[in-house]
Amino acid sequence: MNIRRINAAKPEQDILVEGSRILIKGGVIMAPTETKYGLLGRIDNPPTLEKIYAIKQRSYQNPTAIFIGSRKDMMKFGWHNNISEKLSQKLLPGPMTIILKARPQFSEPIAVNGKIGLRFSSSPVINRLLELTGLYLTATSANLSGENSLESIETAAALFGDKIDLYLDAGPLEGDASTVIDCSDSGYRILRKGRITAEEIEQNLEIN
């Protein structure tokens, strides 16, 4: 198994380059975000998506969110409402996935039921991989579908083995996952409570 230790705050360039090459070729890596570990692969390559969904034992009816590199990128994939636009300005980059109404060119598992999830992370590892690859990447948790997120590379490697092409080990990642909020219509609904609390969301929506 290919396991590389990485500094999550100041990731080493040679390791990032190795990871980016694997991603460009259609491989799958496990990498630290600012919350949990995620499985990363290019969203424009169907075999990569099939591999990730097979690893997770996940149905295509359960969408993967997408890692993007800027707030501006959000409009390539979906449409804002007033709430999502304000939250993205106030709370991103950060530990939140915002679900928007999807643009029509996207289909399963990127968009499901006309909705698409977007994740503008504050993780230096994620953002440098986006820069080096020039790609948009899957933002799905490193676990079996329906199970808890895996908090260490050791546990993940024992479960997934060589199915994952590269493990980036930043040590144990504990605590809350990212918050998931659905803004695909005129209002909003918190689908998963996480690092950003409901109170923080409400406070930021009240700021003009």
Q: Which tens digit of pLDDT belongs to each residue from 94-149?
A: 999 999 999 999 999 999 999 999 999 999 999 999 999 999 999 999 999 988 88
CA 102 vs. chain centroid, Å, equals 17
Which pLDDT belongs to residue 207?
65
Amino acid 36: pLDDT:
95
Tens of pLDDT along 181-192? 999 998 999 999
pLDDT at 5 over 70: yes
Domains in the chain, ordered, with CATH?
3-206 (3.90.870.10)
pTM for the model stands at 0.94
